[in-house]
Amino acid sequence: MLNSAYGTRRDNIMETIRVVLADDHPLMRTGIRNLLQQTKDIVVVGEATDGYEAIQLVNDLEPDVLLLDMEMPGMQGLEVAEELGAAGSPVSILALSAYEDKHYIIGVLAKGAAGYLTKEELPETIIRAVRGVAKGEHGWVSQRIAVQLSSWLTNDGVND
């Protein structure tokens, strides 16, 4: 038996991955929820429309993964990641954003997020990433984000 932040594996059978969605756009939440719930191993246990609600749901529901938008009313995604990290929350954060902004990408990864995907990703990539971060994997980034990260690290530095 292996215990971890994402659930318990017994006899090679993985328990359900519990996800909280945090996005201020109802259409986006509905689409992602429908996508994830087509799988047999992922269930959406809560949906937040802002950062404050995301933190409350993570604290109350103790999900394995927080799928986190960067731009939300009230508290932004970076602040959510920072607060959860400071509180020692075991939730794995996967940013899912329309923005390819250096400040967001570097910021949320530096605050402990396991990955950063753009909302243009293929559905199967999002599912693989949720499963991966639930297992404790880090470094899940969109291909375009990976190229940008490489460029920033080699040309600009990350603190520009």
Where along the chain do its domains lie? 2-156
pLDDT tens digit string along 60-109?
A: 999 999 999 999 998 999 999 999 999 999 999 999 999 888 888 889 99
Please write the tens of the pLDDT for every residue from 129-139.
999 999 999 98
Neighbours of 90 (CB within 10 A): 12
pLDDT band at residue 15, thresholds of 50, 70 and 90?
A: confident
pLDDT at 148 exceeding the cut of 90: no
> What pLDDT was estimated at residue 3?
33
The pTM of the full predicted model, rounded to 2 decimals, is 0.84
Is 24 within 8 Å of 73 (Cβ atoms)?
yes
Tell me the C-alpha distance between 146 and 19, whole Å: 24
pLDDT at 155 over 80: no
Overall CATH class of domain 2-156: alpha beta
> What would the mean pLDDT of 4-11 be, rounded to a whole number?
38
Nearest to 112 by CA among 77, 142, 76, 62: 77
